[in-house]
Amino acid sequence: MQRRMGEAVARVARKVNETVENKADSLELNLSGNYLHRLPEEVTSLLHLQAINLSRNRFRRFPEPLAAVTTLETIDLEENEITEVPVEKLATMTALRSLNLQANPVAPELRLLVRPLVPFDLLLSPEKPIPKA
Say how many Å lie between the first and final Cα of the chain, rounded: 42
Nearest Cα neighbor of 52 from 68, 71, 74 is 74
Mean pLDDT calculated for residue range 19-35: 75
Strand 98-100 to strand 121-123: parallel, antiparallel, or no bridges (unpaired)?
parallel
Q: Which residue has the higher pLDDT, 78 or 40?
A: 78
Range in 21-35, 50-64, 91-105 with the lowest mean pLDDT: 21-35
Mean pLDDT calculated for residue range 99-106: 92
Mean pLDDT calculated for residue range 7-14: 60
Q: Where are the domains of the chain?
A: 2-123
Fold that domain 2-123 belongs to in CATH: 3.80.10
